[in-house]
Chains A and B, each alone.
Chain A
């Protein structure tokens, strides 16, 4: 009976998905607001990566919400781990020499690559979220290979909070001097396809990169270090 209901639900879902896909033209002529983004996006924001221009500027408020959701998820996880009867146990499992040496070499390179991704967010594919995740996976690699590696939790939360505040402050600066929240006319736009271009977009993406990197690193460290108390 339960399986039948599940199959019926899936069929209904599939039917509506098919409807939606058949109604919306895929890869055809765009109109309305998306036409404006494609035509005027580079002129208005001077970011050669149009996706970043949309994510951080036209839809910047949504991105602020997205960052807030991530923050709430990390906070909820920290809260759950703090309230359960767990203890912080530092595992003392020696990793193999190959893993240790490789992660020693890879760790700075991964951090550099993550920073590269979010600093060049307005020029090349990628941005704050992707770069932050790469940095968090570098921290994860070090946690797996060195049991003596403890990221400074207080520093991570400070970076996270500061980056979030910088994002909101840039938004309010646009509100005061530019006319609307996150307006991109308070800094010179510069030339297309240069590192120092696109106004506040790189600043916001660097802030997001720091925030996501610190948040996910803290989250992984929390999860990795906490173990359930054995009775």
Chain B
């Protein structure tokens, strides 16, 4: 990273040498390239003038928790997009792992117990289930990755197929053991404390749930993986040009498979968190989660063209989507218009993203 002060000095020195036309272009480009940030700030200021509570501690904690809930999945799916792919199975994997976590971690006195022989789970059991869902998520991701890498199938098709398979499994699961599709809830205290309890210091007198902390940990891990490991570098190499990567000795098959596996692990993790965060799990839990995650990645500059994107960008995308959500609530915007606004922002963000790519060409 360059020192920001020197980089500003350099930019201003360069700016002085430009002629009038180039100066104009400098500003236009600057505005367009940072449009997302500008939109974000305008949106926040506008909301603030209408409803100052948007900057209250409780609103900030609320935003934090909403971002923390979506971030891990977006980071997982981001890897698939870097490989010019996508992942449609994400939401259903969350549904399955959320159901499994809930069923395994119900309290001893839950109203409709899925596994009647299980007693009151302790923290050890919670960690064990966490491991289990990470493995399950990872396995489905690995299957996705295998078919994408081995048969050169587009991830859209592969994950569309696994989405259905996982959903089927999820429906079977919810209808088995005498559950008849009933929601699985009545979660144990240990599980709820693990996810929604708070060990972080309070912010403005408000408890910050643990999953915010976990999301930070996931973010740091993913930042490390993307930026500091050979695997991360390989991922970008395969994303920008698989043939070139192959020629330069990158194992394209392994990289593709691992990116999908890693994505699957984040879905498994999200499943466990969602299970306790929402506390009522049905077969539909997680439906369409991937759409928000994909949108967040694209808004954050992870291009469908492949090979570009940053972990910070994904975070920004998630934050932007969540700020839109919160602001629209604080502004009491008409429900129907909310779709329009959200859609327009995604479209705008994608266009700006493509524009950058086109000028680079």
**Are A and B a genuine interacting pair, yes or no?**
no
* A interface residue numbers (CB < 8 A to B): none
Which B residues are within 8 Å of any A CB, using their own CB?
A: none
